[in-house]
Amino acid sequence: MANETELAPKTVTKPKVERPKLYKVLLHNDDYTPREFVVLVLKVVFRMGPEASQRVMMTAHKMGSCVVVVCTKDIAETKVSEAMDLAKEAGLPLMFTAEPEE
């Protein structure tokens, strides 16, 4: 005869998985960077398609800034420095920043 006694664990541990804090990458408008250069950076660094990069560039142009992507702190900071490096190399004042999402 099989033993039907259920062996229940004395304690049940709830898995505590911390969600990583998310950061948004912002694109800032300026008066000097050509629109085509902004679109190029969005395509190359953020792997955005032609329509999305055009839309994000135009939003920053009209509103002053635009969220490009929301991701982990690590990725956000890497993307910002890659984008800023391209701008610096080209001698343009184009600005990207990363900040924690509320």
Core vs surface per residue 74-91: b (16+ CB within 10 A) or e: eebeebbeebbebbeeee
Query: Which one of 20, 34, 49, 100 is in contact with ligand TYC (CB under 6 A)?
Result: 34
How many residues touch ligand TYC (CB under 6 A)?
13
- Asked if 80 touches ligand TYC (CB under 6 A), the answer is no
Dump the DSSP string for 12-25.
-PPP--PPPPEEEE
Q: What are phi and psi of 7, to 5 degrees?
A: -100, 100
Comparing CB distances to ligand TYC, the nearer of 36 and 74 is 36
- Asked if 77 touches ligand TYC (CB under 6 A), the answer is no
Query: Which one of 25, 33, 48, 68 is in contact with ligand TYC (CB under 6 A)?
Result: 33
Provide the token pair at 73: 């702190």
Binding site for ligand TYC (CB under 6 A): 27-31, 33-35, 38, 57, 60-61, 94
